[in-house]
A and B are shown apart, each in its own frame.
Chain A
Amino acid sequence: MSNKIWNPERECMRRADLEALQLAELKDLVDYCDRNVPFYHKRLQEAGVTADKIKCLSDIQYIPYTTKQDLRDNYPFGLFSVPKKDLVRIHASSGTTGNPTVVGYTREDLDNWSEQVARIVTAAGATDETVVQICFGYGMFTGALGLHYGLERIGATVVPTSSGNTEKQLKFMRDFETDAVVATPSYCLYLAEAAHELADKFPMEQYKLSLGLLGSEGCTPEMRTQIEERWGNGFFVTDNYGMSELNGPGMSGECRCRNGMHICEDHFLCEIIDAASGQVLDKGATGELVVTNLTKRAIPMLRYRTKDITNINYEPCACGRTTARMHKIIGRSDDMLKIRGVNVFPSQVESALIGIDQISPHYQLVVRREGFADTLEVRVEMIDGSLLEKYGELEALQRRIHHAIKTILGIEIKVSLVEPKTIERFTGKAKRVIDLRNQ
């Protein structure tokens, strides 16, 4: 598999040079926003920030944050800097509550976006010889078209199968000798299962798949291993990150070292902040990712709060790239709980519970205040009748869960085994947390 670097000039810069470039781009962007977007003009004026006052990168802290709510409040085009005539594309997110978030692209924006995706797919191992099937749904969602343009940019052979029709997907994979697949982790796993089911007619050797560019939903290390084992034959899964407010996929992606996702830093200036206070944190700290899209013009993003929790490693990587690497998303700031001064994410509990077969996938966190101390109870449903013969086995299960969660969270917890179906099921977004501290 290829170890090529798409744009060595930009991806292997000395940090001092990169920061000088970022500073120049930031000043340009602030000036552009000030002059072309009334929303930003007002915000910047209130904060007393002008482009010429920005002397170093840390001066970015004086610029107010932009949030998803700002996009909703200014639906559809309030944050746009150009007339519709200059837009060549519009995308929108689904928006489960309220207005969808609408984003647009000038020709130059699309060009930059394709460049970003070209870098991350190259880092993942794709080349101009790769035949890649895109199994994301097309439409208003940025995932499919973003990867599509970036993969075309590197000269890969793009097969836009879109989502669904699994048997047809598998047929094309065999007949076109598809090398790479763009999909969600769960769909990639589903495809592998379906391929195994058809193995009597079409043996697994007929698939040449070697690379998964998976994204758009989280992928735990356990799930990644499972997907790789199901496809077999050295199938290699990489993760990438992005969101429509920041073009789409392509902001960052894993290289073959898979030790964090390389950020296209000449396009994206990243900060990590404390989600509660809004304070900028030191380099390396874990907190909410805030991104300034330095090169975006149609709908510029100044200090966009992603609500995703991660940390950034600025050490150069073994692959040769010097761009910083962000950790896979640890959780959402909306879901974050502060318990005895420690940040806790439901997703951490979830990852601790994966692989424990005696319990159902449903769990619930109950936070209480007892005296002056917060307590966290983790409730899980015991579903394995075979443990009922020996009482000690139930207690051992309880201890095992306790240990797994405590190791990840670093705080004392109480594990409760409860009967099946006693944890409420929610359609859509699961309500995992019951916080009783303020009652």
Chain B
Amino acid sequence: MFIKQISIFIENKAGRLAEITAMLAAEGIDIRALSISDTTDFGILRLIVNDPPKAEKLLRDKGLTFSITNVIAVGLPDRPGGLAEVMQALAGSGISVEYMYAFLTPQQRRRACIIMRVEDTEKTLQVLQQARVETLREEEVYSL
């Protein structure tokens, strides 16, 4: 039920993001979702890719500073207040979300998908299940 997310330390300089995405593309690695947080100096690039082991090997060979963590992908109910319900369920169980970002799935069943990083992934999954929130499986996200 966890999705592997790759976080890469990057310097905030022109062209660096292009270099890294081109490097992944050259190895046939597709980016499913992406987020960047940065200051003026440096940033953290967070990626969901179709082939995490391959990406990990590539980044290691290139000597980049990175980490791989488990995150949760939530399929958002397609109605007003959907996200609010999810957040309330989590808050009600004392779970705080460290960061999250969203993307749209490209297929016929078009919906919003939220990538979430929380402290206690197991507990969060239970809470989401009880609240009948859809969580996406690994293969599902990688093969989107």
Q: Give the B-binding residues of A (Cβ under 8 A).
A: 382-386, 388-391, 394-395, 416-422
Nearest-Cβ distance from residue A413 to partner chain B, whole angstroms: 14
Stretch at the interface among B7-15, B24-32, B127-135: B7-15
Nearest-Cβ distance from residue A387 to partner chain B, whole angstroms: 8
A416 to B40 Cα, complex, angstroms = 10
* B78 close to A (CB within 8 Å): no
Residues of B within 8 A of A388 (CB): 7-9, 44, 65-67
Q: Give the A-binding residues of B (Cβ under 8 A).
A: 7-11, 37, 39, 41-42, 44, 63-67, 69, 98, 117
The A-B contact count (CB < 8 A) is 48
Residue on A with the closest CB to B42?
A417
Nearest-Cβ distance from residue A148 to partner chain B, whole angstroms: 45
Cross-interface CB contact of A394 among B8, B44, B98, B117, cutoff 8 Å: B44
Residues of A within 8 A of B41 (CB): 416-417
Could you name 26 residue pairs across A and B whose Cβ atoms are closer than 8 Å? Answer: A382-B9, A382-B65, A384-B65, A385-B7, A385-B9, A385-B66, A388-B7, A388-B67, A389-B7, A389-B69, A389-B98, A390-B98, A391-B37, A391-B44, A394-B42, A395-B39, A416-B42, A417-B9, A417-B41, A417-B42, A419-B11, A419-B64, A419-B65, A420-B65, A421-B63, A422-B11
Nearest-Cβ distance from residue B3 to partner chain A, whole angstroms: 15
* Pair A420/B63 contact, Cβ less than 8 Å: yes
Nearest-Cβ distance from residue B2 to partner chain A, whole angstroms: 14
Nearest-Cβ distance from residue A364 to partner chain B, whole angstroms: 13
Residues of B within 8 A of A419 (CB): 9-11, 64-65
Cross-interface CB contact of B64 among A391, A394, A420, cutoff 8 Å: A420
* Pair A385/B65 contact, Cβ less than 8 Å: yes
A-B pairs, 5 with minimum CB distance: A385-B67, A388-B7, A388-B67, A385-B66, A421-B63
Residue on A with the closest CB to B39?
A395
Nearest-Cβ distance from residue A26 to partner chain B, whole angstroms: 55
A382 to B39 Cα, complex, angstroms = 15
A421 to B98 Cα, complex, angstroms = 30
Residues of B within 8 A of A418 (CB): 11, 42
Residue on B with the closest CB to A398?
B41
Residues of B within 8 A of A385 (CB): 7, 9, 65-67
A383 to B39 Cα, complex, angstroms = 18
Nearest-Cβ distance from residue B11 to partner chain A, whole angstroms: 5
A179 to B63 Cα, complex, angstroms = 44
Residues of B within 8 A of A384 (CB): 65
A389 to B10 Cα, complex, angstroms = 14
Residue among B9, B64, B67 with most chain A CB within 10 A:
B9
6 further interface pairs, Cβ-Cβ under 8 Å (given A382-B65, A395-B39, A419-B64): A386-B67, A389-B7, A418-B42, A419-B9, A419-B10, A420-B63
A385 to B65 Cα, complex, angstroms = 5
A389 to B46 Cα, complex, angstroms = 10
Nearest-Cβ distance from residue A274 to partner chain B, whole angstroms: 36
A342 to B22 Cα, complex, angstroms = 45
Residue on B with the closest CB to A386?
B67
* Pair A389/B117 contact, Cβ less than 8 Å: yes
Residue on A with the closest CB to B7?
A388
Residues of B within 8 A of A383 (CB): 65
Residues of B within 8 A of A394 (CB): 9, 42, 44
Nearest-Cβ distance from residue A432 to partner chain B, whole angstroms: 19
A128 to B42 Cα, complex, angstroms = 60
Residue on B with the closest CB to A414?
B41
Nearest-Cβ distance from residue A211 to partner chain B, whole angstroms: 42
Residues of A within 8 A of B39 (CB): 395
Nearest-Cβ distance from residue B108 to partner chain A, whole angstroms: 35
A422 to B13 Cα, complex, angstroms = 12
Residues of B within 8 A of A416 (CB): 41-42
A119 to B42 Cα, complex, angstroms = 54
A385 to B66 Cα, complex, angstroms = 5
Given A394-B42, A417-B41: A389 and B67 within 8 A (CB)?
yes
Residues of B within 8 A of A422 (CB): 11
A23 to B42 Cα, complex, angstroms = 60
Nearest-Cβ distance from residue A417 to partner chain B, whole angstroms: 5
Nearest-Cβ distance from residue A416 to partner chain B, whole angstroms: 6
Nearest-Cβ distance from residue A415 to partner chain B, whole angstroms: 9
